[in-house]
Structure 1
Amino acid sequence: MFSDATPGVPVEIGKNINVAVVSDDLKKMTAEFNRLGQDGKIQMELQETFWSLGYGIAEDKYGVVWMFSHDDGRQ
């Protein structure tokens, strides 16, 4: 899944798509998130939210923004 831009944020051509990763495996998702953040930049730490046990945003070393969200199917 991907989205084009967050409301109110200027769109920079070439960086106007965010990739969403939704997983039921929080441990694996956390490892992938941390790997992307090592060479890139963490925009929002992976953390519990009202809709997810783990949600975070990381930008990889190529400038691609990744949104990670845990979904265990209970919602």
Structure 2
Amino acid sequence: MAHAVLKIGGAVLFVADTAPGVRFAQGKQVNICITVADKEQAQKYYEALKDGGQVDHPLQEVYFSPAYGMVTDKFGVTFQIFTQRA
């Protein structure tokens, strides 16, 4: 699995390809990870991306983030939403 961090203006995008052993599926070759500072911003992105899409992991607290979720949007692109710990 490969990872990259892209800095675009004030935004930082973390991208990763699929995990080894996962079958190729159109739109699944790259995950885009959006990192936000708080749960409220995470909720806004999550709601917008799941509209017409599919929830892959519900937005919830996990051991590495106070609000983490994964959504495949209506175009077939998978987004991970990651909230930083304070």
What's the % identity of the aligned pairs? 27
- When residues 29 and 14 of structure 1 are mapped into structure 2, their CA distance, relative to the original with a 3 A threshold, is closer
The total of aligned residue pairs comes to 73
Which protein has the bigger helix share? 1
Report matched runs for 1:1-75 at 5 Å: 1-12=14-25, 14-72=27-85, 74=86
* TM-score (structure 2 length as normaliser): 0.76
| Alpha-carbon distance, 1:6 to partner | 2.1
Structure 1 spans left out of the alignment, 5+ residues: none
Structure 2 spans left out of the alignment, 5+ residues: 1-13
Deviations 1:17-51 (A, max 9, x none): 00001111210111111111121110110010111
| Alpha-carbon distance, 1:15 to partner | 2.9
Following TM superposition, where does structure 1 have runs of at least 4 consecutive aligned residues deviating by more than 4 angstroms?
A: none
